[in-house]
Amino acid sequence: MGRVKVLRDFIGIIKDKASQSKAALISNPKTLSLHLALLRSTTHDPFTPPDPRHLATILSFGHSSRATASTVVEALMDRLQTTRDAAVAIKCLITVHHIIKRGSFILQDQLSVYPSSGGRNYLKLSNFRDDTTPLTWELSSWVRWYALYLETLLSTSRNLGFFLFSSSSSVEKDNEEDKASSAINSELLKEINSLGNLIEQIARTPDSLNSNRNRLVDEVLGLVGEDYLSSMNEVSIRVSEFRERLGCLSFVDSVELACALKRLEDCKERLSTISQSKKVVIETVWVSISELKDQIGNSQVYKEDNGRLLITGRRNKVSESARFGERVVMKRGGDSVKFSSGRFLSFNEFSFPGNELRDD
């Protein structure tokens, strides 16, 4: 077994050198540094994560033209799709993850085109298998999971309207509470369900046996652990907003919210091993999720029976126009202004001054 491992590592080194030599010969001089940085970031070594210097070189091309950004993503996806080596595939996915978190907007925009443009989904790796060694076989399960996670992350970002966990989306994140308070109920439910999908995918992290204490796997877990903390913050914003609106939710919305919160709670135990930082903050969010779920339960919207969700309760006979989940609407002629969030309850019957002077 030791000789097989040494031989495989040696073959991997030869492949890396050959790929870089080939790129130096046939690549366009304008993109040569890109291709070399990509090859050096995605070597066949199953233990070493991408070198930050090479990742920085790849990301730097995102500050050029849109055509150059397209070339970056195309080259990255081509490497991901053509390799049969688990280490190379994971490093390609790590590079994708860094683009989402640290890439420029045009680089992220080019990346988001691939799963959503109606063409080939370059992150669909559900059939990926590398059975060369027990380690690469286990790493293959990480490839399949990681690709699906990143696909879910891009989908969630589209639903929220900005790239989650991205340093380039700081402006949007600063306005998250305001956006949540002005969103209609159906939009908030879509967002919390989408975040639930993402957190469920994080909770499905593969078990590590042969890959335990592997630096490549640790790199993936570190990136996803950061995402978990940020995603719980996004959930917290929406849970707080729904608490303000709880008394005015329709029956259907209440049941859907209860289901979304239960899905989140079902992930809690598995997620306890994902990140060891900010435990107090994370536990506070879990408590708020549980409290809101209990509040809905106390209003007899639902009850649980052996893990099943049974609808029992109240139906709000509130017209669609009376729901707080509607957008801000101002009508002419002195009609009331309806605000979207329950925190503005006292203002919902406010009429503009001067209407009393009208003859009609």
Instruction: Convert the chain into a string of H (helix), E (strand) and C (coil).
Output: CHHHHHHHHHHHHHHHHHHHHHHHHHCCCCCHHHHHHHHHHCCCCCCCCCCHHHHHHHHHHHHCCHHHHHHHHHHHHHHHHHCCCHHHHHHHHHHHHHHHHHCCHHHHHHHHHHHHCCCCCCCCCCCCCCCCCHHHHHHHHHHHHHHHHHHHHHHHHHHHCCCCCCHHHHHHHHCHHHHHHHCCHHHHHHHHHHHHHHHHHHHCCCCCCCCCCCHHHHHHHHHHHHHHHHHHHHHHHHHHHHHHHHHHCCHHHHHHHHHHHHHHHCCHHHHCCCCCCCHHHHHHHHHHHHHHHHHHHHCCCEEEECCEEEECCCCCCCCHHHCCCCCCECCCCCCCCECCCHHHHHHCCCCCCCHHHCCC
- When mean pLDDT is compared across 19-33, 69-83, 122-136, the lowest value belongs to 19-33
Write the pLDDT tens digit of every residue in 331-357: 444 444 444 555 544 444 444 444 444
Mean pLDDT of the chain: 79
* Residue 86: CA count within 13 A, CB half-sphere: 28
Residue 90: exposed, middle, or buried by beta-carbon count in 10 A (0-12, 13-18, 19+)? buried
219/19 Cα distance (integer angstroms): 24
Nearest to 97 by CA among 166, 192, 189: 166
Decide: 5 and 36 in contact? Cβ < 8 Å: no
State yes or no: pLDDT of 359 exceeds 70.
no
Half-sphere exposure of 237 (CA within 13 A, CB side): 21
pLDDT at 239 over 90: yes
pLDDT at 91: 97
Q: Which amino acid is at 225?
A: G
Q: Look at residue 144 in the predicted model and tell me its pLDDT.
A: 97
Where residue 268 falls among pLDDT bands split at 50, 70, 90?
very high
250 pLDDT above the threshold of 50: yes
Reported as a single tens digit per residue, the pLDDT across 24-65 is 545 566 677 888 899 999 999 999 999 999 999 999 999 988
Contact 249, 185 (CB under 8 A): yes
The two structure tokens encoding residue 61: 């091309």
pLDDT in tens, 193-212: 999 999 999 999 998 766 66
pTM: 0.78
With 80 as the cut, is the pLDDT of residue 259 above it? Answer: yes
